[in-house]
Structure 1
Amino acid sequence: MAPRSTYRVQMRPAFGFPDAAAIADYLADLGVGALYSSPILTPTAGSTHGYDVVDPTRANPELGGEDGRRALVARLRELGLDLVVDIVPNHMAVEVPSQNAWWWDVLEHGPDSAYAGYFDIESFPVLLPVLGSDDDITELAVKDGKLTYYEHEFPIAPGTEGDGVDADAREVHERQHYRLVDWRRAGAELNYRRFFDVTTLAGVRVEKPEVFDATHAEVLRWVAEGDVQGLRVDHPDGLADPGGYAKRLAERAGCWIVLEKILEPGEKLSDSWPVAGTTGYDALREVCGVFVDPAAEAPFTELARSLGVPTDFELLREECRQLITTTSLAAEVRRIADLVTGVDPMDARRAVAELMVAFPVYRSYLPEGEANWAAAIERVRTAWPELSEAVAALDTQVRADPTGELATRVQQTSGMVVAKGTEDTAFYRYSRFVGLNEVGGSPDHFGVPVAEFHAAQAEREAKWPEAMTALSTHDTKRSEDVRARLAVLAELPDEFTAAVRRWTEKLGIEEPTLNLLAWQTLLGAWPIGPDRLSAYLDKAAKEAKVRTTWVDHDEEFEAAVQAWPAAVLGDPELSAEVRTLAERITAPGWSNALGQKLLQLAGPGIPDVYQGTELWDLSLVDPDNRRDVDFAERRALLARLDGGWLPPVDDTGAAKLHVVRTVLRLRRDRPELFTGYRPVTATGTAAEHVVAFERTGLIAVATRLPVSLPGWGDTRLDLPDGEWTDALTGRRAEGGLTDLLSDYPVALLVGGQA
């Protein structure tokens, strides 16, 4: 059974099982159905996110271990809350080999290790990219029966240790089942599958039944014992067979399962997978997009063009994907090309690289996703006729064995290339309007028409009514409230573009794409201190890979970027102008934020609230969005609301908390209201400024495009017959929006008595 709703918490050493248990009563009061935690199996020591699991057989001791986990479960049960856990089947952490017993054994015993088949290793010796340079091989030493490189320790295979402390470390190294190499060689030479381009996360072969059992036994025990009611699966596209994995997991778990699957606009999750749906990036695009005015596209495009920012998204995306195939994921492309037979190896490598660029979706699921595969093949064949022989060989071999190694690796890698090329590169370069640059988003589609929004919600209700929906996650590029503010800029294109031109002339960042991104970020997250903004812009610059990267640093440019926030905020005239525009978009941004939240929470699917976002939250990409949440403040405001306080829409964010607790409590107490879906139409002069829908005895109403709203005047909703009461204010609703939306820019109408 699906939870009524979820509340995502980021577990880490500073917020462990006891801390989660301590806020459980607050979550229950809020109306939450399930605590939804980040991974809680044992990760690398000190991990602040949990996705770097080293031991899948026990609960993270730094969170409180098994005793802490059991205590948390007991507290949740007392309060009637479910527990949903994030799991990571694709990879394990190998950064500190001694912390991962399986990896250590593989390094020690090589192909004879009992765990050699657990990891997706191409060949031995395994290349470990840890040296500062290949010349650093002289820094190796043998100490306490281990091979060491400064603080790094590696096992020594039995019988290869030489003369102990007197052994030549380099000779000992040459006898091992691994080779320590310059870290820069990873992109082109690595011989084990990674999570994207992260060399410290090694791919795991969960398609093997024994590996599935070993990596899932503990989590499945929690499910079987009734401690866990739902599972969120991280990065299923990295698996050899996502559909087969989903079926095996569903058979073994028998609980609510959602997949972190990124769907391109128009793409559908396979009906054959026995899961509830995705984690909600598709819903994020729909909900946030309906608050963006498409009329602003032309002036935003012209601003970007005039500043030297790319405006052809498809071309830019191709360039960024091509960059990834030739740099950070070149080893994966080479590994696939080596499997293509009968053609020139270099042609095979080019054909594979271009195929990765050409995929219209993250990956095809052969043979089920044959249409996407065929589209990519045809695109490469047309664009690169000189590669026709290699493309034909690749296509023929894949189709002949769609579950074979070649087909599998192509599919696993395409998702990596798309994610790294699009989300982690193009989204930082295509800064025309960054409010659209979101995971699962489509930045070249300027907003979502109301009719498209309604169609998407109706389809979710009909086909995936228990899929998760989200507005903010641990992976979003910016929080829902930052996006809500940025949407206001689309209603003020002339004012915004003129300001950015002035500001850029006075104190712009010399790299155009980062410059335009920076001004939007400053406005969207205002007020933001120079340290937070510097950290964000440093990451953005390296992800964009225009002037500097994580690997090849332009120190002078990075220093200039780091100094920019303090320079802007320290300029009295310039900072005053920024503040004026930021304050101009704040109140309309609140309106958008309340509208987004209401539509998500009341709409089809199982809504998730990311930690802290029940109040205004102006976080940026991780790690900024993992900052501590002030739950004491939230408890105090919730208590005031429970005392009958109707909060104003102001900077406390209490109005958002009011919306969240009202909808979540209705989901808890009256679940029958949240079925069905029907658009509710408006008539009158301001009809385009409202989006509304009816469930079963419940109607959600939200204001859109608030800046250009002339006043509601004669605008009315076409309400069904009967008595309707606004659950947010307790007042009767007659359909006229002037009265209905006099206190809040949103309303939640319940048939009969609320």
Structure 2
Amino acid sequence: MGTLASTYRLQLGPGRTFADAADLADYLHRLGVGAVYVSPILAAAPGSPHGYDVVDPARVSAELGGEEGRAALVDRLRRLGLGLVVDIVPNHMSVAVPAANPWWWDVLRLGPGSPYARCFDIDWASGPLPLPVLPDDGDDGAAALGGLTVVDDCLSCADQRFPLAPGTFAPGDDPGEVHLRQHYRLVSWRRAATDLRYRRFFDISGLAAVRVEDPDVFTATHARILGWAERGEVDGLRVDHVDGLSDPGGYLRRLRDAFGGWIVVEKILAPGETPPASWPVGGTTGYDALREVGGLFIDPAAERPLTELADALGVPADTGAVEARCRYEAAATLLQPEVRRIAALLGDTAEAARGAGDDHAATVASAEEAVAELLARFPCYRSYLPEREADWALAVDRARRARPDLVGELDRIDARVRADPRGELARRIQQTSGAVVAKGTEDTACYRATRFIALNEVGGAPDRFGTGPAEFHTAAARREASWPSAMTTLSTHDTKRSEDVRARLAALTEIPEDFAAAVRDWTARCGLGEPSLNLLAWQTLVGAWPISAARLRCYLLKAAREAKLRTSWLHPDPAFEAEVGSWPERVLSDAPLAADVAALVGRIRAAGWSNALGQKLVQLTAPGVPDVYQGTELWDLSLVDPDNRRPVDFATRTMILERLESGWLPPVDAAGAVKLHVVRQALLLRRGHPMRGYRPLGPTGPAADHAVAFARGPGLDAVTIATRLPLRLAAAGGWRTTSVPLPGGPGLWRDLLTGRDLAPERTDGFTAARLADVLDPYPVALLVRRTDDAEADRR
């Protein structure tokens, strides 16, 4: 299994093609990157901004430059010695525009008789396939159905086209009658929440799940990608949403048999969870590392005052209760078709009820409630039966305790699943549990329980205020021992806010009372009417300051709809959305209020920079394969997508890189060149120096709690040191006599960030570096043991 030194994520799309990526290759090589990691590159839905809505796995995206552009990019990377990692999407395909997807088009045309029908998870036993595509002004789509026409042998509804089955239309036929002869039925878009008969990605009816558990479907969907791999044109694969597959382990073993390179999977791990040991992969894409690294810079003492602030504003602080409620809501509403399909597999329950004279509808409803409750109670994204029976048992136990009235139904589900842990019932429950967690926690609870939003991240733990050094070292050592090839990350295309926004917010935990007082004052002057969004808005304003009204408006509207409290995507409230939309302009145009926000940001800005540099250096040098998200080598104050897909100014980054290459040592200031300096030095070290082994280094002295340090390399000859909680450190008088022990005996070390040589002191039999000397002028240090002048100069 090949492993790369590091990756740099490029989000390809209409604004960045293969040719653009090739033009960036030289910059990325000079930055120290090991491999370019690109978003999906197969043919996607028309106008796709991200590529995850694949429509044809046999074609390269023409919008990105087609096969010729892809080959030219590979050639450019190979000449520079850079690897290529490709994001793949085995779980689903886009069906939003049927004509764009040749497989789906054929299925609609021929129904279950289509050779592609086996590719999609469709329930044909219930009759024609409902397609929730019709506009609905409260008439269930009746007006749209009345306007159907037949044009060019297609059923046409406004600007949408659908195929006709052979022999179902003759000139003069009524379009409505023609519609009734098809293998599908056009229905209101609202019915996606209740009447859907194909499995989809989460609650997105435009993304239909693909049955890659079928060997022939696997071959058809992966032929193009694996063909590139056979020719040595792909070094790694990032597998999107592996938990949505029928059998993740089986899929990954089949993929490993066909591909010998580096494989990582997009999987959210609960705290303490690891990927199943049987998976033949390098690991996950690193949200667990994001939580562990970011937590180092959060002060746990802030939990009480920030909880008191949330309570005072009416924001729920019991994050566990909010998550449980949101997960149940997701299962019972957004994912109702999936719940119904699972409950239907318990048909013997309904039959028994009818035989006993009970109300059939009530019995079915009870079964659906039990399924929804069970799906909401998983301790992780999904269990992997029969390998991880304990997770299943815990989910059942939690559901029983939460709903004693459903114990009978839950016991029946439990018995059926345990009797056949590889059967359809067990498989569908496990597939759906991940969607429930994602929609309930990430896309709902993270926008409701807004006590401290830096914790509300993909794979985060909102109930855990910070990560102590001991906990971090334990996790890092475990990763080095068990999953050294796992990816680590701080920002991705899916994170709720960028690493630098979270780093600045972490600084607020050092002055929580002052922040709480400010929010109370600001809310009284210009608060939003919904408490959770109000608290989120003020934190976002501080974290992303300065931010335009337009960017903030788009973000808050998305946040409000995701929270589903006063408005939602399915049921928007125009009046409330008008209030939210006008809020950024009202705040930013209020000069005294804006000045107050700017003043608070001014107090924590430098601490935020320190946190950002610290967490970045730790991530880049700790165990795992670090990924740098596009543009984050400078300060990046982006929010959730699509904000984090804005164009990146690589011209400025290239100019800064040129200055660094000439020996310039940048200051820690708003320009952010110092972050690029840290990223470059760490990546160059990783690319040229094996980063094996891991040893925590325990600081000693009056400010020991404010440093985290560890050693890497075959001889433990590379040392990372980062500052924690810088505001408290300054208030206590700085480093004073605090030092960090260095591995090995006496000798010179060089700080790659300052170029200075360091002769450690010998104290009590240990060689130690005084932090007052080492962490100046930067709050971080990257030390390497000098072997000779030539080696030191080369570095």
The reply to whether TM is greater than 0.5 is: yes
- Given candidates 255, 265, 273, the residue that maps to 1:267 is 273
The 10-residue stretch of structure 1 (539-548 or 118-127) with the greater mean CA deviation from structure 2? 118-127
- Given candidates 145, 148, 157, the residue that maps to 1:149 is 157
- 2:63 is paired with a residue whose SS is helix
Which residue is 1:749 aligned to? 783
- 1:179 is paired with a residue whose SS is strand
Q: What is the one-letter code of the residue matched to 1:718? A: P
Q: 1:17-44, CA deviations, whole angstroms, 9 ceiling, x for partnerless residues?
A: 0000000000000010000000000001
- Given candidates 241, 249, 254, the residue that maps to 2:247 is 241
Contact 1:341 1:393 in 2 (8 A): no
Q: What is the one-letter code of the residue matched to 2:582? A: A
Between the aligned partners of 1:228 and 1:19, the Cα distance in structure 2 is 18
Q: 1:391-447, CA deviations, whole angstroms, 9 ceiling, x for partnerless residues?
A: 121111111111111111000000000110000000001110001110010001011
Shift in Å, 1:327 = 1.2
Q: What is the one-letter code of the residue matched to 1:20? A: A
Shift in Å, 1:387 = 1.7
Which residue is 1:533 aligned to? 552
Which residue is 1:705 aligned to? 725
- Given candidates 670, 674, 679, the residue that maps to 1:651 is 670
Between the aligned partners of 1:383 and 1:500, the Cα distance in structure 2 is 36
Which residue is 2:354 aligned to? none
Which residue is 1:716 aligned to? 739
Which residue is 1:693 aligned to? 710
Which residue is 2:133 aligned to? 130
Runs of 4 or more off by more than 6 Å in structure 1? none
Shift in Å, 1:126 = 1.2
Shift in Å, 1:552 = 0.2
- 2:572 is paired with a residue whose SS is coil
- Given candidates 710, 716, 729, the residue that maps to 2:754 is 729
Between the aligned partners of 1:428 and 1:570, the Cα distance in structure 2 is 26
Q: 1:338-393, CA deviations, whole angstroms, 9 ceiling, x for partnerless residues?
A: 00143232221111010011111110000011100001111222332222221121
2:209 matches 1:203: yes
Contact 2:15 2:647 in 1 (8 A): no
Q: What is the one-letter code of the residue matched to 1:296? A: A
2:340 matches 1:334: yes
Which residue is 1:740 aligned to? 774
- Given candidates 228, 252, 255, the residue that maps to 2:258 is 252
- 1:520 is paired with a residue whose SS is helix
Shift in Å, 1:675 = 0.8
Between the aligned partners of 1:324 and 1:238, the Cα distance in structure 2 is 16
- 1:62 is paired with a residue whose SS is coil
Between the aligned partners of 1:396 and 1:107, the Cα distance in structure 2 is 38
Between the aligned partners of 1:340 and 1:236, the Cα distance in structure 2 is 26
Between the aligned partners of 2:110 and 2:495, the Cα distance in structure 1 is 41
Contact 2:241 2:265 in 1 (8 A): yes
- 1:392 is paired with a residue whose SS is helix
Between the aligned partners of 1:342 and 1:191, the Cα distance in structure 2 is 21
Between the aligned partners of 1:69 and 1:682, the Cα distance in structure 2 is 49
Which residue is 1:140 aligned to? 148
Which residue is 2:699 aligned to? 682
Contact 1:691 1:702 in 2 (8 A): yes
Shift in Å, 1:208 = 0.2
2:324 matches 1:318: yes
The 10-residue stretch of structure 1 (333-342 or 428-437) with the greater mean CA deviation from structure 2? 333-342
Q: What is the one-letter code of the residue matched to 1:25? A: D
Which residue is 1:112 aligned to? 113
Q: What is the one-letter code of the residue matched to 1:682? A: P
Shift in Å, 1:326 = 1.8
Q: 1:69-103, CA deviations, whole angstroms, 9 ceiling, x for partnerless residues?
A: 00000000010000000000000000100000000
Which residue is 1:456 aligned to? 475
Q: What is the one-letter code of the residue matched to 2:128? A: P
Between the aligned partners of 1:479 and 1:665, the Cα distance in structure 2 is 23
Between the aligned partners of 1:148 and 1:727, the Cα distance in structure 2 is 65
Contact 1:485 1:592 in 2 (8 A): yes
Q: 1:472-511, CA deviations, whole angstroms, 9 ceiling, x for partnerless residues?
A: 0000000000000000000011110000000000000010
Aligned ranges 1:329-408 → 2 under 5 Å: 329-343=335-349, 344-408=363-427
Q: What is the one-letter code of the residue matched to 1:28? A: H
Between the aligned partners of 1:292 and 1:584, the Cα distance in structure 2 is 16
Q: What is the one-letter code of the residue matched to 1:156? A: L
Shift in Å, 1:732 = 2.3
The 10-residue stretch of structure 1 (538-547 or 345-354) with the greater mean CA deviation from structure 2? 345-354
Which residue is 2:764 aligned to? none
Q: What is the one-letter code of the residue matched to 1:700? A: T
Aligned ranges 1:530-679 → 2 under 5 Å: 530-671=549-690, 674-679=691-696
Q: What is the one-letter code of the residue matched to 2:638? A: S
Q: 1:576-634, CA deviations, whole angstroms, 9 ceiling, x for partnerless residues?
A: 00111112211110000000000000000000000000000000000000000111101
Between the aligned partners of 2:549 and 2:530, the Cα distance in structure 1 is 19
Q: 1:632-655, CA deviations, whole angstroms, 9 ceiling, x for partnerless residues?
A: 101100000010100000111110
Between the aligned partners of 1:252 and 1:13, the Cα distance in structure 2 is 31
Which residue is 2:84 aligned to? 83
Between the aligned partners of 1:604 and 1:431, the Cα distance in structure 2 is 31
Contact 1:269 1:277 in 2 (8 A): yes
Between the aligned partners of 1:189 and 1:373, the Cα distance in structure 2 is 28
Contact 1:342 1:393 in 2 (8 A): no
Between the aligned partners of 2:339 and 2:179, the Cα distance in structure 1 is 28
Between the aligned partners of 1:68 and 1:375, the Cα distance in structure 2 is 50
Shift in Å, 1:211 = 0.3
Contact 1:142 1:167 in 2 (8 A): no
Contact 2:332 2:369 in 1 (8 A): no
- 1:362 is paired with a residue whose SS is coil
- 2:303 is paired with a residue whose SS is helix
Between the aligned partners of 2:455 and 2:67, the Cα distance in structure 1 is 42
Between the aligned partners of 2:286 and 2:10, the Cα distance in structure 1 is 16
Q: What is the one-letter code of the residue matched to 2:781? A: A
Q: 1:34-69, CA deviations, whole angstroms, 9 ceiling, x for partnerless residues?
A: 000000000011111000000101110000000000
Between the aligned partners of 2:259 and 2:156, the Cα distance in structure 1 is 42
The 10-residue stretch of structure 1 (572-581 or 343-352) with the greater mean CA deviation from structure 2? 343-352
Between the aligned partners of 1:183 and 1:553, the Cα distance in structure 2 is 15
Q: What is the one-letter code of the residue matched to 1:130? A: V
2:491 matches 1:477: no
Between the aligned partners of 1:434 and 1:359, the Cα distance in structure 2 is 23
Q: 1:500-546, CA deviations, whole angstroms, 9 ceiling, x for partnerless residues?
A: 00000000001000000000000000000000000000000000000
Between the aligned partners of 2:401 and 2:304, the Cα distance in structure 1 is 31
Which residue is 1:12 aligned to? 13
* TM-align CA RMSD: 0.8
Aligned ranges 1:407-422 → 2 under 5 Å: 407-422=426-441
Shift in Å, 1:293 = 0.2
Between the aligned partners of 2:147 and 2:427, the Cα distance in structure 1 is 39
Q: Number of matched residues? A: 750
The gaps in structure 2 that reach 5 residues or longer are 350-362, 761-768, 787-791
